Structure 1
C-alpha cells in the first residue's frame, strides 16, 4: 500500500558542483496502514537543483507515549521528493496515527566514514594557506578540518582525494588535518583530545621532531605507484602551497 505524495512549499536552492549542501528537515503527517509496512513519498521543504547524493531518515510516532517503533528504508531519491518504506518493528501490525519523519541529506561529491561527511571544498583548485587559515576556511563552510582516526579512514580519505581532486599539471597536493603532533611524546592527538592516527608517515624523513612542527598534513600523489606520500608534521604558521581544503561535518544525531 502506497501513501500519497506529501507536497510542501519550497524555495529554490542552487548548488554548485564543487560545493557541499546539507539540510536537516522534519515532516509530520497522518499515516494509516492495515499491514506492518507501507511505502510513501516525502517532499523536501526546499526546491533543489539536483538530486541529493544520500538521505538518512528516521520515523517515530508523533505522540511519544505510543509504543510504535519503525525501521525506515530509503527506496528512491528524486529531485523533489524521496520514497521510503516504513516498517513497524514493535509488533507485526498496522497503525492509525500521526508520525514524524526526520531526515538529513547532502548534495555534493563527498565520502562518508562512520558518522562523518567528508568533502573537498574545491575540486578544481588548491590554495596557499597555513593551519589557521585552513581551519577558519572549513569553519566558514560549516565544517571542521578532517581528522584521521585509523588506517581504514586514512585509506578512504587518501583515495577519495587522489581519485576526485583535479591535479592538472601538479603531481601532488597536500591537505591539513585538525589533529596535532607532540614532538616529545611522538603522539598524534585529535582536537577532541582522543588519540589520532599515527602511521603512514611520508617515508623519506617524517616525522621530523624539531622546529615546533606540531601541525599535520597528508601529501597525496596523483601517481598511484608514487612513494613520496603520506603524513608530514609541519610548522602550523608556515604558508604551504598546493593545499587541497578538506573538511568534515558530523551527521546529526538521530538520523543514522
Structure 2
C-alpha cells in the first residue's frame, strides 16, 4: 500500500484517453501495450501520487511499466521526475516529484504516457540476444528441417548461423508445452553468433546467459567427457558451460572454472531426458560471490568470475567453436544479457517465466 504523507492528496482528473491502446509491432511475440491520457494535477508538496487506469484488457499482471508525465502547456520552468511506485492488474500509481524547486505546484494539465510490459516482453526488450523457434519465421530451414539460421529477437539482431549442412541442428516437429525447439542429434551440431562477450581489455565483463535445454545422452569417453551448452572457449578458459554425467562445468571463473557436482530436488542440470532452465551470471567487477549458477529457479553455487580474453564469437550447442564438446539433446530458448546485473529476485522471476512457458518440472520457487 502507498502511505500518504502530511496533507498530500490524490487529486487528478482524467480528461480523455487520446489514442487507443493496442499491440506494438516489435516482433511476432510482442504484447507490449502503450497509451496516454491527460490529467489535471496539483500538489501542495514537491511529491504527488497519481493513479491511472490502463483501460485495456490484460491477461496477466504487468511485469514492468515505463511512464512519463509532462505539463502539456509547460513554461519551461517546471521539471518533474516520474517513478512507477505500484503496479496493479488494472491500474498503476505514479509518483511525480518536482525537481526544479522544493515546492508544490498549482493546477496543471499533464500528459501521462505509459508502456506496459509483461515479463516475456521485458526480457526481449532488454536482452542483448534471444533465440527461440516458436514460429517458422524465426528460422531459416531446409527441406530436411535442418536449421542454417536462427533470427535474433533481442536487441543485437545478430543471427545464430551454421552454414555447414553436416553441423546444422534440426527444427523439431514435436512441441514442448506448445513450443518448437532445436534438436542437436548429429555430431558437431552447433550454431555460431558473431558477438564479443568481453570488452577489449577484459574489464567490466558482465554477461548473463539463460538456456532452456534437454540432454539426451552423455559422452562415453573420458578424453572429451563434456556435452557443451554454450561457449566461447578459445583455449584460454573463456566463458563456457558444459556437462558430464556427474559434473556441471562453468568456465570464466577464478581458478579457470568451477565444477558443480551437487544437485537439488527438481534441479539437476545433468539429468537425461528432462527439460531444465539453467542460468549463469559472470559479474567480474562484483568480486567474490557476485557471480552465480541457477537451475530451475534454485541457486546451485556462487563464484568469482575473472576477466577473459576478447573473442568475437560464441557457440550454442557446444562449448567451443570446433564443436568438439557438442550437445546431444535439444535447446528451446537461449537468452543473453550484457551489462545488466540480475539480482536474486529477478533471477527467480525469470526462471519462473521459463519454467511456466516450457512446462519444466521444478517445484515451488519462493520469490
TM range (shorter): 0.5 to 0.7
Asked if residue 62 in structure 1 is aligned to residue 83 in structure 2, the reply is no
Within 5 Å, give how 1:218-229 maps onto structure 2.
Answer: 220-221=241-242, 225-227=248-250
- Report the CA distance shift for 1:78/1:66 in structure 2 as closer, same or farther (over 3 A): same
CA-to-partner distance for each residue in 1:19-56, whole Å, 9 max, x for gaps? 55323433222112222211111122422111111122
Q: Distance in 2 between matches of 1:145 and 1:56?
A: 26
Deviation sequence 1:163-193 (CA, Å, 0-9, x none): xx2x23356545xxxxxxxxxxxxxxxxxxx
Are 2:53 and 2:90, in contact at CA under 8 Å, matched by a contact in 1? yes
Aligned residues, how many? 192
TM (norm. structure 1) is 0.54
For residue 103 of structure 1, what is the aligned residue in structure 2?
114
Preserved contact between residue 110 and residue 119 of structure 1 (Cα < 8 Å): no
Distance 1:149 1:59, change over 3 A: farther
Structure 1 stretches lacking a partner, 5+ long = 14-18, 175-199, 208-217, 249-256
Moved more, 76-85 or 97-106: 97-106
Structure 1 residue corresponding to 2:232, chosen from 201, 216, 221: 201
Distance 1:101 1:24 in 2: 11
- Alpha carbon RMSD of aligned pairs, Å? 4.7
Instruction: Measure how far apart 1:79 and its partner are.
Output: 1.6
Aligned to 1:22: 32
Aligned to 1:134: 150
User: How far has the Cα of 1:110 moved from its partner?
Assistant: 6.7
Against the structure 1 CA distance between its residues 152 and 42, is the aligned structure 2 distance closer, same or farther, given a 3 Å change threshold? farther
State the shift of 1:243 in Å. 6.9
Who is 1:231 aligned against?
314
Q: Output aligned runs, 1:1-256, within 5 Å.
A: 1-3=9-11, 6=14, 20-95=30-105, 96-109=107-120, 116-117=126-127, 120=130, 122=132, 129-130=147-148, 133-135=149-151, 138=153, 144-145=157-158, 148=197, 150=199, 155-156=207-208, 158=209, 161-162=210-211, 165=212, 167-169=213-215, 173=229, 201-203=232-234, 220-221=241-242, 225-227=248-250, 231-232=314-315, 242=331, 244=333, 246=335
Note the alpha carbon deviations across 1:3-30, whole angstroms, 9 max, x for none: 35859697798xxxxx553234332221
Larger CA Rg, structure 1 vs 2: 2
3-state SS, counterpart of residue 101 of structure 2: coil
Contact preservation (8 Å) 1:54, 1:106: yes
Question: Deviation at 1:81?
Answer: 1.2
Going from structure 1 to structure 2, the CA distance change for 1:243 and 1:112 (only over 3 Å counts) comes to closer
Contact residue 173 and residue 243 of structure 1 kept, 8 A = no
Deviation (angstroms), 1:222 = 6.6
Q: String of CA shifts for 1:129-179, please: whole Å, max 9, x gaps.
A: 33xx423x63xx9983485574767522x2xx14xx2x23356545xxxxx
Distance 1:145 1:107, change over 3 A: farther
CA distance in 2, matches of 1:41, 1:49: 20
Distance 1:5 1:117, change over 3 A: farther
Query: Scaled by the length of structure 2, what TM-score is found?
Result: 0.40
The change in CA–CA distance for 1:123 and 1:31 in structure 2 (over 3 A counts) is farther
